[in-house]
Amino acid sequence: MAARLVLASTSPYRRELLARLGIAFDTARPEVDETPLPGESPTDLACRLAVAKAAAVAAGGDAWVIGSDQVAELDGRALGKPGSRERAIGQLQSMSGRAVEFRTGVCVAGGDGVPRFSLDTTVVRFRTLGDDEIARYVDAEQPFDCAGSFKSEGLGITLFEAIETRDPTALVGLPLIETARLLRAAGFTLP
């Protein structure tokens, strides 16, 4: 299939993951307000934002668009991207010795007008972390743009006891197993 494909994201992590599928694609910044709605669960937030990102970029175009969003959930509340050293340290302190669920929604929209959607849940079990090791980690990797304040593809893996997942790429931000399934359903030919 020679259809045009667009990743509705400027995330370098998602771009690197999608490139692994060997399909040519462009990227576009989705103009979507990511503020949670009142009473919105982390699962609903991840789903809504993945669909909204794909729809925002697909609107009026002829391309297939992939939208994705990830939300970390602890005690029923969403943990956003920390944005600062202090917030990253605070998030990691709150997750120390605990299990955190990461909801990653992916949507493929456009083309035939039928959006295709999937949700992945990955559970990360954190080791009990000392304040000094949290600070060293945050200073070394500066994960300020990552849900949960870590990069599992980097040093962040040292913070965990275990990862429970169907798709190891989901934790990085784009579940490739489901993305490939959705693209095949849209008519794309993959290996």
Could you list the active site residues? 69
Scanning the structure block, which residue is given the tokens 């944005």?
83
DSSP conformation class of 168? T
Separation CA 12–CA 18 (nearest Å)? 10
Separation CA 121–CA 98 (nearest Å)? 16
H-helix or E-strand spanning residue 27:
strand 26-27
User: Under DSSP, is residue 108 helix (H, G, I), strand (E, B) or coil?
Assistant: strand
